[in-house]
Amino acid sequence: MQSDGSKRRLGVPLARHPAPSPSASAGAQDGHPDGAGEPQSVVDCGVYEQGSRVGGPVALDEALASAKDARDGFAWIGLRDPGPGMVEQVGAFFDLPPLAVEDAVHAHQRPKLEVFGDTLFLVLKTAQYVDHSENVVIGEIMVFAGPAFVVTVRHGKGSPLHGVRDELEAHPELLKVGPSAVLYAIVDRVVDDYGEVLEGLALDVDEVEADVFSSGGRTNATERIYRLKREVLEFRRAISPLTPPVERLASKRGELVDPRTQEYFADALDHLLRDTERVQALDELLTGVLQANLAQVTVRDNQDVRRISAWVAIVAVPTMVFGIYGMNFDTMPELGWELGYPLIMTVVLVLCTALYLRFRRAGWL
């Protein structure tokens, strides 16, 4: 992870993306735990006491009952693209605010942090970069965190949480902190994925920049620049509003989370601020590349206009002379002179050559 440094200071050297165990990952990827028999929207339900998981995946009703009776532990319920009935059932059991439950069902919310008594509601935007199409796919994760429960509702494919669960289960010292540790681990994973999206965007921006400045202005990359800029702006809208919520979680003035996790949130905030600055820099760079590309197109068009104008001026000389001598008047200069025709052709050739050399020196040809 990006925040390995802070975790080592607290004695929790988590790996970045450890391989999930077969028992845990199979259910997470298939949409339900092995043998749990839950609907596909229930990814995993686990009960934790003293930093360790009690048994394996459990049914939703059992996880709800365990959360209600928990004293030294909590239940973590993971949902993915659930229907209204599923979320309303969980919301009614934990007495979650109806408006927050509605947000969790319909998604399309800005990143935010709301506090309802002793329950936190955090909305995160996930991001995944598809390199072949140069698209940033935005999803959402809603997290309800209370004293004895964590409910995660994920929409989209970005930032899967089964790896986060495996990391925490492998480090009971951190998991023993409770729901605050789960909340931090989710934020950290989402912010880590922002870094991967930025790497993909930066590579494509470098490519289009090199294409614009190394092609001598002969390649018009305007469409690709606009497409990348649109993706950067969409990504920027997804991550920028997350800064104030993470600042609140990292603040030592409040008591929204366990004080032992505030240092973790401060580390995640540092990386989020860095990512925000990087996406802003990419946006400004694309603006500069777009302006440079449009300037090159304008210069190229002006060069084409000057080149055409020069050839028109050259062609105008023989057109005018031959047009005059094509009027079939009886009395015209040099009509009866034997050297008249060679003289006129020579004059036309000299004038055309002189104009060509003049335009060539001026850079029009």
Report the alpha-carbon distance of residue 183 to residue 334 in Å, rounded: 100
Residue range 20-26: mean pLDDT, rounded:
36
Contact (CB, 8 A) for 212 and 145: no
Same domain, 50 and 125: yes
Last residue of a domain, one of 273, 294, 315: 294
Same domain, 133 and 181: yes
Give buried/exposed letters for 285-316 (b at 16+ CB in 10 A, else e): bbeebbeebeebeeeeeeeeeeeeebeeebee
φ, ψ at 242 (rounded to 5°): -75, -20
Give buried/exposed letters for 31-58 (b at 16+ CB in 10 A, else e): ebbeebebeebbbbbbbbeebebeebbb
pLDDT above 50 for 29: no
Same domain, 279 and 329: no
Domain that holds residue 195: 4-294
Same domain, 280 and 318: no
Report the alpha-carbon distance of residue 199 to residue 282 in Å, rounded: 11
What is 6-17 written as a DSSP string?
HHHHTT----SS
Number of domains, the chain: 2
Between residues 336 and 212, which one has the greater pLDDT?
212
Which residue in 139, 135, 102, 134 sits closest to 121, CA to CA? Answer: 102
Same domain, 345 and 230: no
Same domain, 90 and 173: yes
Last residue of a domain, one of 294, 309, 336: 294
Between residues 35 and 96, which one has the greater pLDDT?
96
Residue range 65-91: mean pLDDT, rounded:
84
Same domain, 287 and 302: no
Q: Which pTM value belongs to this model?
A: 0.73
Contact (CB, 8 A) for 146 and 119: yes
| 59's tokens | 């049914």
φ, ψ at 140 (rounded to 5°): -145, 150
Element (H, E) at 34: none
Same domain, 274 and 355: no
Contact (CB, 8 A) for 79 and 152: yes
Same domain, 307 and 172: no
Same domain, 230 and 89: yes
Average pLDDT, whole number, for the chain? Answer: 81
Residue count of the chain, please give it: 365
Between residues 78 and 340, which one has the greater pLDDT?
78
**Span 263-295, pLDDT tens digits:** 999 999 999 999 999 999 999 999 988 888 887
Last residue of a domain, one of 278, 294, 310: 294
- The CATH number given to whatever domain includes residue 322 is 1.20.58
- The CATH number given to whatever domain includes residue 246 is 3.30.460.20
| 183's tokens | 């909340």
**Span 138-149, pLDDT tens digits:** 999 999 999 889
pLDDT above 60 for 35: no
Same domain, 310 and 257: no
Contact (CB, 8 A) for 187 and 124: yes
Residue range 54-81: mean pLDDT, rounded:
80
Residue range 208-220: mean pLDDT, rounded:
73
Same domain, 259 and 314: no
pLDDT of amino acid 26: 35
